[in-house]
Every structure is written in C-alpha cells, then in structure tokens.
C-alpha cells in the first residue's frame, strides 16, 4: 500500500498534512498500519509491501513526496509516518523496527520499498540540510536521447558508476535491514540504475543477508528484457509486468486466450506469455499483479472503461475472473490496496486514493449494503484461503490442457495435490460443454494422468459451478460468461 493513503492512526500529531490536496500528505502512518493488522489477517495476506519510508520533500509546486519516492534523506524515517520529529536517523528507524515487530507477531512479513536511483526534486538545492549525503558531482546530467539507465521523469539522478555513490547505498541498505528486521526489499526503478551498483549490492548485501528477498521493479512488458535482470543481477524475483499486460489484454479487452498460452497442436504456433517463462530463472517466484501505484489505471477502472460504466455486474464478474486467474496461475500474487474491494482510479494521484474505511464494519469486512465491494472482497478471501490449502498452486507445474479464443484450461500439480482450472472468457455463457482431453494429452506425465483416471470426480470450488466427472479420458465443462471453474480431486 501507499502508506500515506492507507490509514491515519495518529490523528492528534502535527505533521504538515494537506488532505484536501490530492498530491499532498494525507496522514496515513505507522500507527494506522498497526491499527489495521486485524484487517490484513481477515483478508489473509502473508506479507505487507510498504512504499518508501524515507524523509521526503515537502510541497513542490502543488505536489509533495507523499508516496515516498522523492527522498531528501535516505537514512531517516519521515516524521509524517512516525509521528515524531527532530530525531537522529538511527532513532527514527526504531519506529519502523517497532512496526515490523508488530507485523511479525501477527504472522506477517514486511517488504520495504527502497530507492537508489534518484533523489526528490530540488534536493540538490538543499545545501543547508545537515544530513545532505551527495554533492553536485555525484549526479548525472542528462540530455535528450541518453540511454535509459539513470533517467527518470527529470528527477535528480545519481551516478552509480561513482564508487562513493554505490558504496553509500550498500551501507545504507545494510543499516535498514539490520536495524529494522525487514524480510524483503522492493527495489525501485531497477532498469534506470547503472549496472555497476548491482555488483556491489549482491557482493555485500545478498551475501550477508541471503534470507532477505530482493524483488526488482523492471517496468517493461518484454519477458526477455525483464528476465535479464533476474539472471544477471541476482534478484530473487521480479514483478511480472509482461503477464500483467497479457491478463488485461485477454480477460479485460477480450483478445484471444492464446495470448496467455499456445494450444500445443503444432510446433509453428505463436507463443503465449506463459510459454516464454524460460526467460526467467524461476517463473514460479515471479510476483504477479493486476495493478499497482505506478500503472495508469486501477484494474477496476480498466474493466469499466472496456465494459461500459453502466454495467457494474459485468465489471464485477470480470474483476473476480482476473483475481481467479491471478491466484491460480504460476507466481506469487500481489494485491494493490483497495483493489480487494474494487476501488477505482486513473493516473497519479487518482490511482492512489485514500482507503475508504467508512465502507467497512467492525468485522473488518465491507458492510452488507456495499454489495459490489463485499462480493469482490469475499471472493478474494476465498481464493487466498484456497491457495494456502493447495501447494499445487504455490509450487506445482502448470500444464496447458486446452486453449482457443475464449477458453483456457490448465492444470496445477504438486506431489499429488491437483487443481484444474477452466476459464470461459466469453461475454456469453457457453452454449454447450467444451470437451477437454486428459488421457491423450502428451503434455501431462503418466503419474499425473493416473490421478485423473476415468470415474474420478473433480470437486468444484466455485459455488455456481457443478462438480465434473472424468470419463472417456477427459472432462466436459460448461461455464457462464466471464467465469473460472476451479476443481480439486475428490476422495
């Protein structure tokens, strides 16, 4: 979540807030995150990704660094998050340590967002700031046509080819890890950082703290380009923007499901996105997503733009279908705060709205009168529980069984635990059942085929979808519009 927009738990603190300004600080803080721990537990998530907690610049024209990515001091927690001003850098980090401890006691891990590529606007002018870490010579000067490394939205860009810059951030990251106990790092704007830094980083940080998961943000839709960072720079995982784009192209914008996977009928077929997973070191460890704070639209707004804002029933069905696929395909799902209730928004700062806690009851669930939000929330809670109970989804193989323009059927399996998913992406119900062969599918090992012998019942995990029986070497499935059937093995 964007911490400043999630929950204000310290309402009495004087923190230079500007809640009427969509681009100002609104007051979300560490106290609010602690307050909502029962909410995270009700939802069922296992880790919390916090946007950067550095001391950020205040108002710049009409905008401030409320999101955490315009750092003025990389060593200090922003007082607007901690509620305490005029502390040393080390003292300020104790507030984050207490928050991390509270999450750990609740069984939740913490991923801290970090920035090494750039500082906030005008920070080069803060010559009188006592903790100023960099001099003018440590910044790159960019011109039109320069390569992508180091260049981002006109922000003051640090030159990591200078050893003192790279060394500063290595020591800085070690301080944050060792003084706060975080479990993971989400590294911002990876493709804009000079490659020299990643050698320094992995030689010290990854060697000393291999248990801290490093997640890289490479915002690109080419799996070969994205995967190169995992293979060359020792990232544990990356955000799967290529699959995110393919999900929206198919489930939202109704392109053929062959954009996800190829039918495997002959060798000349174009590859779907999942067929290109060899670009990654381990596709099962990729962080999959539908939206986040950097994308132009929240997933619900994308759906409404495609389907018509008048048809919210269809939008709800498509959103639930997107989540069903996200939570049953390979990878580790990430939820952007508010998307679990279908929150809308387009472009910064609209895609970073305040979390609407007035919609929720004391049970940490949307109130019954908010039927759209409650239905999406309950669907997602069910998927999270289902994922936790089935290792096939977390660790298993993914076998494509059948794919055409509208239908995609796939199988997940891990040491006898088996989940079968069939998606109808059509905007109409199937006029008749589709036949999905199992016994004759050369993509499935004999051990797994034996689990799907004739007479085996597959139990539906979706209330509106009936159980199915394996017969004559396959199954027959019929689904409503924009629906995923999810099945497990019967006894």
pLDDT digits (tens, 9 = 90+) for 231-282: 888 899 999 999 999 999 999 999 999 999 998 777 788 899 999 999 999 9
Kindly indicate the confidence band of residue 82, based on its pLDDT and cuts at 50, 70 and 90.
very high
Backbone torsions φ then ψ of 470, nearest 5 degrees? -75, 125
pLDDT of residue 103: 98
pLDDT of residue 148 exceeding 60, the answer is no
| CA 355/CA 487 separation, integer angstroms | 34
Any idea what the CATH number is for the domain that residue 415 is in?
2.60.40.1180
Start-to-end C-alpha separation, the chain:
40
Residue 471, strand partner residues: 474
High-pLDDT (> 90) share of the chain, %: 82
382 and 410 inside one domain: no
What average pLDDT score do residues 274-299 get? 96
365 and 484 inside one domain: no
Of 145 and 142, which is predicted with more confidence? 142
pLDDT of residue 477 exceeding 50, the answer is yes
What letter would DSSP give residue 485?
E
79 and 55 inside one domain: yes
- CB burial readout 287-326, b (16+ within 10 A) else e: bbbbbbbbbebbbbbbbbeebeeeebebbbbbbbbbbbbb
Would you say 67 and 1 are in contact if contact means Cβ atoms under 8 Å apart? no
pLDDT of residue 175 exceeding 90, the answer is yes
Backbone torsions φ then ψ of 92, nearest 5 degrees? -65, -30
Residue after which a domain boundary falls, among 362, 394, 426: 394
| Residue 359 CB neighbour total at 10 angstroms | 16
283 and 342 inside one domain: yes
Average pLDDT, the chain: 93
Question: If we measure between CA atoms, which residue out of 194, 51, 188, 60 comes closest to residue 120?
Answer: 60
174 and 243 inside one domain: yes
Residues in contact with 30: Cβ distance below 8 Å, sequence separation at least 6, in sequence order: 3, 9, 81, 82, 83, 95, 96, 98, 99
Residue after which a domain boundary falls, among 367, 394, 421: 394
Of 446 and 152, which is predicted with more confidence? 446
Query: 227: exposed, middle or buried (C-beta count within 10 Å: 0-12, 13-18, 19+)?
Result: buried
52 and 198 inside one domain: yes
302 and 446 inside one domain: no
Q: Can you give the residue range of the structural domain that contains 434?
A: 396-489
What letter would DSSP give residue 137?
G
183 and 223 inside one domain: yes
133 and 250 inside one domain: yes
Kindly indicate the confidence band of residue 125, based on its pLDDT and cuts at 50, 70 and 90.
low
| CA 27/CA 3 separation, integer angstroms | 9
pLDDT digits (tens, 9 = 90+) for 306-362: 877 889 999 999 999 999 999 999 999 999 999 999 999 999 999 999 999 999 999
pLDDT digits (tens, 9 = 90+) for 91-100: 999 999 999 9
**Cis status of the peptide bond prior to 290, with omega within 30 of 0:** no
Residue 239, strand partner residues: 287
Question: If we measure between CA atoms, which residue out of 437, 440, 435, 475 comes closest to residue 455?
Answer: 475
pLDDT of residue 233: 85
Cα radius of gyration rounded to whole Å, the chain:
24
pLDDT of residue 436 exceeding 80, the answer is yes
Residues in contact with 152: Cβ distance below 8 Å, sequence separation at least 6, in sequence order: 117, 118, 189, 192
Backbone torsions φ then ψ of 369, nearest 5 degrees? -70, -15
pLDDT of residue 58: 84
pLDDT digits (tens, 9 = 90+) for 203-223: 999 999 999 999 999 999 999
pLDDT digits (tens, 9 = 90+) for 373-415: 999 999 999 999 999 999 999 999 999 999 999 999 999 999 9
Residues in contact with 95: Cβ distance below 8 Å, sequence separation at least 6, in sequence order: 30, 77, 81, 82, 83, 84
Length of the chain measured in residues? 491
170 and 154 inside one domain: yes
What average pLDDT score do residues 290-306 get? 96
355 and 417 inside one domain: no
Q: Which of 2-6, 66-70, 128-132, 273-277 is predicted with the least confidence, judged by mean pLDDT? A: 128-132
Kindly indicate the confidence band of residue 151, based on its pLDDT and cuts at 50, 70 and 90.
low
Residue after which a domain boundary falls, among 364, 394, 424: 394
Would you say 285 and 338 are in contact if contact means Cβ atoms under 8 Å apart? no
pLDDT of residue 127: 43
Any idea what the CATH number is for the domain that residue 135 is in?
3.20.20.80
Q: What total of structural domains would you count in the chain?
A: 2
303 and 429 inside one domain: no
């Amino acid at each position: 979540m964007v911490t400043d927009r999630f929950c204000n738990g310290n309402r009495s603190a004087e923190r230079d807030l500007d809640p009427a300004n969509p681009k100002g600080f609104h007051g979300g803080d560490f106290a609010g995150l602690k307050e909502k721990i029962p909410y995270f537990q009700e939802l069922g998530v296992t880790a919390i990704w916090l946007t950067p907690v550095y001391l950020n610049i205040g108002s710049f024209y009409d905008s401030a660094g409320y999101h955490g990515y315009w750092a003025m001091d990389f060593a200090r927690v922003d007082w607007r998050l901690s509620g305490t001003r005029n502390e040393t850098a080390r003292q300020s980090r104790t507030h984050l340590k207490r928050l991390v401890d509270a999450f750990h006691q609740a069984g939740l891990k913490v991923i801290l967002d970090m920035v090494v590529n750039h500082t906030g606007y005008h920070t080069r002018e803060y010559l009188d700031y006592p903790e100023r870490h960099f001099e003018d010579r440590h910044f790159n000067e960019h011109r039109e046509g320069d390569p992508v490394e180091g260049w981002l939205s006109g922000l003051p860009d640090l030159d990591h080819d200078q050893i003192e810059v790279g060394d500063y951030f290595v020591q800085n990251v070690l301080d944050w890890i060792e003084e706060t106990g975080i479990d993971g790092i989400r590294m911002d704007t990876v493709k804009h950082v000079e490659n020299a830094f990643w050698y320094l980083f992995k030689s010290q940080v990854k060697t000393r703290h291999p248990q801290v998961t490093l997640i890289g943000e490479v915002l690109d839709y080419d799996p070969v380009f994205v995967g190169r960072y995992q293979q060359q720079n020792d990232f544990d995982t990356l955000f799967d923007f290529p699959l995110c784009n393919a999900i929206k192209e198919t489930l939202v914008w109704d392109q053929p499901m062959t954009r996800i996977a190829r039918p495997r009928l002959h060798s000349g077929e174009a590859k779907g996105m999942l067929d290109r997973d060899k670009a990654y070191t381990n596709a099962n460890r990729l962080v999959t997503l539908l939206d986040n704070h950097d994308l132009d639209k929240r997933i619900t707004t994308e759906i409404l733009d495609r389907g018509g804002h008048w048809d919210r029933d269809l939008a709800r069905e498509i959103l639930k279908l997107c989540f069903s696929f996200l939570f049953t395909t390979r990878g580790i799902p990430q939820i952007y705060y508010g998307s679990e209730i279908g929150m809308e928004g387009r472009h910064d700062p609209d895609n970073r709205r305040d979390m609407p806690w007035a919609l929720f009851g004391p049970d940490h669930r949307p109130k019954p009168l908010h039927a759209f939000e409650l239905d999406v929330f309950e669907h997602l809670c069910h998927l999270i529980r289902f994922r936790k109970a089935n290792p096939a989804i977390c660790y298993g193989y993914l076998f494509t069984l059948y794919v055409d323009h509208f239908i995609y059927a796939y199988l997940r399996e891990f040491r006898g635990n088996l989940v079968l998913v069939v998606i109808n992406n059509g905007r109409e119900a199937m006029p008749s059942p589709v036949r999905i062969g199992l016994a004759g599918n050369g993509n499935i090992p004999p051990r797994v085929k034996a689990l799907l012998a004739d007479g085996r019942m597959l139990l539906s995990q979706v209330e509106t979808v009936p159980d199915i029986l394996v017969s004559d070497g396959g199954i027959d499935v019929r689904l409503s519009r924009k629906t995923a059937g999810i099945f497990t093995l019967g006894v």
